[in-house]
Structure 1
Amino acid sequence: MNVDLRRLFDRDPRPDPCEPTEVVHRDDLVLWHRPSATRSPWASGVLHYRWTEASADRGIDEVLSYFAARDTPFTWHVPDDGQPSDLGARLRARGFILEAQTDMLVADLPIVGLRINPAIDVVDVTDERTLRDSVLVQHPDWDDERRDRLLRERRAYLGCAGHLRHFALAYLDGRPIASARWRFSTRFRAIGLSGAETLPAYQNRGAYSTLVDYRARIALARGCQYATILADVRTSAPILRKRGFASVGTAEIYVWPETRSSSS
């Protein structure tokens, strides 16, 4: 299959059938809003934009008005080929926070050479125990009330047939230490890797690479040809570049946080 590898990062704007999602899909703008009781900015965001220098500020105004009307924090994905080229600077001037600078990495499957820790057991999140453990690992800094809201949402999501996102959890000596997520492309034979949090006390023990290997093997068994990830240039990107992943571009991720959303 001959594929422009950058296209592997084109997100299908159609909503997940198991999540209530509102989508704006135009040639110049694609965004989605998924109401979440946790008020996480990662639940909604701008997936695509294409404006002229003259129309960009009006476009930003439209996006801000859209999410302000829904009182929702959100993310904004700014790729290196986005138009206009100075959109990142415009967002920073408006008060957006630069959350991450990422490499758009792609690897052919299978992936070889990953540092695997054989003492780590990885399982799919499928029951109440793994569900609770995964939320605790993913958000150790949240209070119990906010984690409970996410638990209710995720419990309902995993109970819905046809959900597109999947969750894995790593255990070491019976303790949950790391979590990760993935989604299969609806357009290509590819898996999109996301997440991957490791509790600070268990970092540098191979949990991240072990979770990458686990998801890559699942994808290979499913018939996928590629694995993709937006990898943070400070942390995961250097690891993955040594293990067969190649960059096909870069992207910045901006956040309009809850505090700005509530006051806008």
Structure 2
Amino acid sequence: MSLPVSAVAAASAAWVWAPDNAEVVEDDEYTILRLPDYYDFDLSVVSFTPAGPLGAAVDAVLERARTFGLPTLDWQVLLGSPAGLAAELAARGGRVKLDLEVLAADLGRGAPRLRPPAADVSLRWATDFATARDRATVEVTGFGGRLPPDERIEIAAARDAKAVPAGGGGTVVAYVDGEAAGTGGVAIVDGVARLTGGVVAPSRQGRGVYRAVLDARLSYAVTHGATMALVKGNAATSGPILRKAGFTTFGPEPVYALPLRQGGPSSRIGGRPG
């Protein structure tokens, strides 16, 4: 059964990613996140609902963002963003730094059957410090940034230790030859499995590790009542794997980098797709 475009669009619009310890600045028209220093990007617009002229509203966001003193603002153009937003960002020096796309799969009849990995993969939920630290290490290898402080890893492990058995979701870590090789998260919200942070260590790519992590997350989602899987995936990397797994693309959501001061946008790649 195919998913209605309206249902996917609504589920995507309801999904605003924000880590627990981010600084949040918001008003009636926008929300900006200031990420902790160990993330692979610093500043991001995660919602934008202008009530007046689009150009003036974009300028207001940029003016507020400049008060952080950072060189670059990430701005994702969502499926429901105002028409013409991409052009406004480009006119202000924005460039596409990450091609994301919204993909979804119908889980109403169960999880799709995926081809087993070529590698001998074992999987663990990141519900203890050691596994949570392995997750963070793989994320740094794949996404950039640096390891969070130990206390943040402890907090994440404790959170998942409660959420995983309760059906709220968590993070899976894949191991090959005893070493952490890949990871990916899932959160179950209103019957939708939101897939995030899917990444494989470069040395382990091409052996089905991502597929094994995906399979674990989808199986968990179905077990806990999800009827839709939703992911904002990298069009060049995870996108092809997801489509082979039965996901359908519903549209692009590119991430733009906008310079906030002279010297141009940073080259760091922001965002953690699924």
- TM tier, shorter chain? 0.7 to 0.9
Q: 1:34 to 1:151 in 2, by over 3 A?
A: farther
Matches within 5 A, 1:45-84: 45-50=45-50, 55-71=53-69, 74-84=73-83
Structure 2 residue matching 1:220: 3-state secondary structure: helix
Name the structure 1 match of 2:245: 243
Name the structure 2 match of 1:211: 213
1:253 Cα offset (Å): 1.6
Q: Tell me, which stretches of 5 or more residues in structure 2 are unaligned?
A: 267-274
Most deviating of 67-76 and 204-213: 67-76
Question: Is residue 2:14 matched to residue 1:11?
Answer: yes
Q: 1:124 to 1:260 in 2, by over 3 A?
A: farther
Q: What is the alpha-carbon distance in structure 1 between the residues aligned to residue 16 and residue 235 of structure 2?
A: 26
Partner amino acid, structure 2, of 1:171: Y
Q: What is the alpha-carbon distance in structure 1 between the residues aligned to residue 170 and residue 76 of structure 2?
A: 22
Name the structure 1 match of 2:146: 147
Structure 2 residue matching 1:99: 3-state secondary structure: strand
Most deviating of 103-112 and 36-45: 36-45
Counterpart contact for 2:32–2:45, Cα < 8 Å: yes
Write the deviation string for residues 111-139 of structure 1: whole angstroms up to 9, x where unpaired: 32322227211111122221222222111
Q: What is the alpha-carbon distance in structure 1 between the residues aligned to residue 209 and residue 33 of structure 2?
A: 32
Partner amino acid, structure 1, of 2:170: H
Counterpart contact for 1:41–1:256, Cα < 8 Å: no
Q: Tell me, which stretches of 5 or more residues in structure 1 are unaligned?
A: none
Matches within 5 A, 1:82-161: 82-85=81-84, 87-109=85-107, 110-117=110-117, 119-140=120-141, 147-160=146-159
TM-score, normalised via structure 1 length: 0.79
Q: What is the alpha-carbon distance in structure 2 between the residues aligned to residue 23 and residue 200 of structure 1?
A: 35
- Quote the RMSD (CA, aligned, Å): 3.3
Matches within 5 A, 1:170-189: 170-185=174-189, 188-189=190-191
Q: 1:57 to 1:71 in 2, by over 3 A?
A: same
Counterpart contact for 2:132–2:156, Cα < 8 Å: no
Q: What is the alpha-carbon distance in structure 2 between the residues aligned to residue 141 and residue 102 of structure 1?
A: 16
Q: What is the alpha-carbon distance in structure 2 between the residues aligned to residue 196 and residue 15 of structure 1?
A: 16
Partner amino acid, structure 2, of 1:159: A
4+ aligned runs moved over 4 Å, structure 1: 12-16, 160-165, 256-262
Write the deviation string for residues 192-250 of structure 1: whole angstroms up to 9, x where unpaired: 11121111221111111111111111111111111001122222222222222122222
Partner amino acid, structure 1, of 2:47: L
Q: 1:124 to 1:44 in 2, by over 3 A?
A: farther
Partner amino acid, structure 2, of 1:155: E
Partner amino acid, structure 1, of 2:45: G
Structure 1 residue matching 2:101: 3-state secondary structure: strand
Aligned length: 252
